[in-house]
Structure 1
């Protein structure tokens, strides 16, 4: 078979990423050569491919669902917000420029060509490409020049399935409104809907499913039940809003280890701590105030797209003053904050800034971004990781720790993904337990890679058991059904 479809959503965090991954895993298990694709991603959770290209972390997860190595074509355009108004534009895995929303419009013609070309290359190499939209296709103020939703669907002739999050409420109004706000040529590509995150008795939902079919003339391809643990490789910090403390498996030793992850305003790659939550007896929660650190055994300062600004926020909230004397792990931007001084004429333009001084190191921001897949060792264990940073940290003392350093109960590294290495993670947690006096023993047999595969299989199972897979195959082979009704008011004018 040959084909492609676009998974859109009524909102951000409706479940587009996990539905795309689930469809990819289901197709891969059928022996289909399938690849994921997202034309334009706005995310601070990113990954580095084997050839040094930066793409969205969600697309790397979707590539894993397909059994593929991630590639730049899978996410040709990545926007990384550094403030409320400006974002770094990463094109085919390399930083291009920093722009505000108005300046970004001037790039749209070029970026549309980049996006369409990348999709065409994937379609030539694979039988099926499952595309993920961005935000909602009914963001009518952004329709002109759109390259991620209906603009892409029109350019490539893609049938569109709209995912709605019923857990938020108002899902049927959102589905109807999404279609009705689009112009007729866009509506003609909206083939149907998927209800996501349903909890309760399916029979109570059936009347509404029939009504939305009658009102829109479009199929509901299925209802996906709520799945605990579907937060794997979340795309953006919206996923943290309803994310409770995670890591509920009973401890292997007598006590649990409590990890507090500081939710910085521009937090990036918070997925680094997912591996900690996979350990029995480790609880992970995201915090924003000093009081929430009171019972923490380990505080994690994660990555940041705005190191100097987020450091100022740490001080303003009182979190910075609560860190000395605690066990702290800084990763990438968090490591930079722990240094003595930061010289930043690149990201913030702030020049020389005093760091927290908890590690004997200095930071100088370089114009060129470091992107790589480093390997090393710590605690006698091999470590494979990836790095994405402008800030170059020079350790001036302490003990070596991966590429960074350690001083007492404070550790720092620029390497993302290090905690996914099972032996290293266990040794590090045992060290944290020793310095904090916790009777915590890491379990000897947890494989984070195996856990990720189990979760991807669970997403594939959701698609196989709860969606009309025959109808999805017909969409892939034949496109959107002809003669779909055009809903009033017929939407707004937009560019094809």
Structure 2
């Protein structure tokens, strides 16, 4: 046990987005927590449309929530002090310490950098004072040299706080040795001095085949590979952004024919889909097949699925327009079977949307499947509601500007409404409540004439998530050089690490 004996910090960077920084950080947190270490995760700046509401009403990235759970902690805003939520090609909402600050484009954001750097560093210092170890996650790649001057999440943080850095490379993409070497070589000398080693992630095969490459990388860089981490099948844990959906869906089996004991769910993947982690609990149910659809060619899937889900959206009006342009809106409207709208998806199912806040589009016609109207407010609703449906307690969270009202034609449903087999709710995370989810799926099955479909009463979504986190902790313990990681956490970057020519960018 390391309880009370280990003090320090580490930053997990990556050669690319989706290299595995989030899961490696979670794995290190779980491994340390099991050793009795008081460890906390930290990501200074996160760009993601998957977010969560903390117990005190702050909005942070879902990945940091999973990492906090790995550490056995309730998440706080300090774990992700800066959250960027893209709302268009060039604009993002800036959320600072859990509260929205401004909507800016990429150039306007530069004006906030000094202020945000101070906020991030103060959050980091608070965590360092409270916990024995802080495991930091970088953002994107530290070798984005065009952004280095304003960086607050990668080498900018590492330099400011003297944090040793390990760089994760995704071997499944190919070119991992070039990516690791090139990432280091592009950095200026002072940044290179903190890059203390590498981790290779998502490896499938015999490690012996890698050994010559590992040896050469060590010779060329003067830095060791601290582990070759395996590909983990079935890993879905709180994915950071919608790019990761491509990898997950590619691994899923093709949706097969309907059977009496299976339910087929089609989830519409709009350009600005948010909080798609709401679907994870459905996908975890035996006998439920979940597919994301995003093209006109998949309209038949929308018409024929047992259940269609319209998930959250960061840009409701824009994504509704996209839904119409692809023909998927017609496929939804023509259905006679169950439809579930969550947050932005619920808003799309309404009769009308008045939006002078998010899109500035004014009055927009909705899909009209629910007798509801939406009006966007300037204040964002952030809450952790608790209610009841199908006789079961439901705990959830809310993140939205659009306020929905419905008339007496509809039956109340989780602060939303229901008409026949169409449900709408503003609540994220409701499907993670096991008893409610089973009752909802049984209702869907009944609506499509599949009365012999029975949800598995033994499925616990929270237990499944814990098993995933344990698997990540096991991965670090088994495949990483944990002694080397402990030395970095406690002692910092080794002195005298060589600088690669040309010494990076200024």
Match of 1:29 in 2: 34
Query: Over residues 130-174 of structure 1, what are the superposed CA-to-partner deviations in whole Å (9 max), with x where a residue is unaligned?
Result: 000000000010001100100000001000000000000011100
Match of 1:303 among 303, 308, 312: 312
Which residue, 84, 100, 108 being the options, matches 2:89?
84
Q: Which residue of 2 aligns with 1:479?
A: 492
| 1:358–1:254 distance in 2 versus 1, CA, 3 Å | closer
Per the normalisation by structure 2, the TM-score is 0.96
CA change 1:320–1:130 in 2 (3 A) is same
**Alpha-carbon distance, 1:242 to partner:** 1.8
Could you tell me whether the CA contact under 8 Å between 2:48 and 2:85 is conserved in 1? yes
Could you say which residue in structure 2 is the equivalent of 1:130?
135
TM-aligned CA deviation for residue 43 of structure 1: 0.2
What RMSD in Å do the two structures reach over aligned CA positions? 1.5
The answer to which of 400-409 and 467-476 deviates more is 400-409
Contact 1:90-1:96 at 8 Å conserved across structures: yes
- Aligned residue among 33, 38, 42 for 2:43: 38
Work out the CA distance in 2 between the residues paired with 1:395 and 1:31. 50
SS of 1:107's equivalent in the other structure is helix
Q: Output the TM-score relative to the length of structure 1.
A: 0.97
Would you say the 8 A contact 1:36–1:62 is kept in 2?
A: yes
State the aligned residue count: 492
Shift of 1:246: 4.9
Q: Distance in 2 between matches of 1:323 and 1:111?
A: 42
Indicate yes or no: 2:446 matched with 1:440. Answer: no
Report Cα offsets for 1:356-383 as digits up to 9, x if no partner: 0000100000000000000000000000
Matched, 1:348 2:359: yes
Whether 1:271 and 2:277 are equivalent positions in the alignment is: yes
Which of 187, 190, 199 aligns to 2:204? It is: 199
1:329-377 C-alpha deviation (Å, 9 max, x unpaired): 0000000000000000000000000000000100000000000000000
Question: Does the 8 Å CA contact 2:303/2:332 hold for their aligned counterparts?
Answer: no
1:427 aligns with 2:439: yes
Query: Is contact 1:10–1:174 with CA below 8 Å preserved after alignment?
Result: yes
Give the aligned partner of residue 112 of structure 2.
107
Partner of 1:318: 327
Hey, what's the Cα distance between the residues in 1 that align with 2:262 and 2:302?
15
Q: 1:206 and 1:286 mapped to 2: Cα distance?
A: 39
Where in structure 1 do 4 or more consecutive aligned residues deviate above 4 Å? 245-248
The CA deviation at 1:120 is 0.2
2:290 paired residue number: 284
In the alignment, what sits opposite 1:59?
64
SS at match of 2:150: coil
**Secondary structure at the residue paired with 1:320?**
helix
Tell me, yes or no, if the aligned pair for 2:350 and 2:371 is still in contact at 8 Å: yes
Tell me the distance in 1 between the aligned counterparts of 2:13 and 2:305.
39
Q: Distance in 2 between matches of 1:33 and 1:304?
A: 36
The 3-state SS of whatever aligns with 1:346 is coil
Instruction: Determine which of 361, 364, 388 is the counterpart of 2:375.
Output: 364
Match of 2:165 among 150, 157, 160: 160
Q: Equivalences for 1:214-225 in 2 at 5 Å?
A: 214-225=219-230
- CA drift of 1:210 comes to 0.7
- Mapped contact 1:179–1:487 kept (Cα < 8 A): yes
C-alpha contact 1:270 1:303 (8 A) present in aligned 2:
yes
State whether residues 246 and 283 of structure 1, in contact with CA within 8 Å, keep that contact through their aligned partners in structure 2: no
Shift of 1:254: 4.7
Q: Distance in 2 between matches of 1:129 and 1:375?
A: 32
The 2-side partners of 1:291 and 1:259 are apart by 13
1:440-479 matched pairs, under 5 angstroms: 440-479=453-492
Distance in 1 separating the partners of 2:412 and 2:440 = 14
Give yes or no for contact 1:246–1:277 (8 Å, CA) kept in 2.
no
Residues of 1 paired with 2:290 and 2:260: CA distance? 18
- CA contact under 8 A between 1:231 and 1:239: conserved in structure 2? no
Deviation at 1:230, TM superposition (A): 2.0
Secondary structure at 1:291's aligned position in 2?
helix
CA distance in 2, matches of 1:366, 1:247: 41
Q: Deviations over 1:227-262 (max 9, x none)?
A: 0122210000110112227599x9xx9521111111
How big is each residue's C-alpha offset from its partner over 1:410-432, in whole Å with a ceiling of 9 and x where there is no partner? 10000000000000000000000
The runs of 5 or more residues in structure 1 that have no matched partner are none
Q: Which residue of 2 aligns with 1:7?
A: 12
Conservation of the 8 A alpha-carbon contact between 1:247 and 1:282:
no
- Counterpart in the other structure of 2:3: none
Q: Which position in structure 2 is the counterpart of 1:336?
A: 347
C-alpha deviation, 1:492, in angstroms: 0.6
Q: What is aligned with 2:395? A: 384
Structure-2 separation of matches of 1:305 and 1:61: 21
SS of residue paired to 1:323 = helix
Q: Distance in 1 between matches of 2:234 and 2:375?
A: 38
Instruction: Output the CA distance in 2 between the equivalents of 1:379 and 1:56.
Output: 30
| Aligned equivalents of 1:164, 1:300: Cα separation in 2 | 34
Q: Which of 198, 219, 237 is the aligned partner of 2:242?
A: 237
- In structure 1, the residue matched to 2:218 is 213
Pair 1:393 & 2:404 matched: yes
2:428 maps to which residue? 416
Give the deviation of 1:326 after TM superposition: 2.9
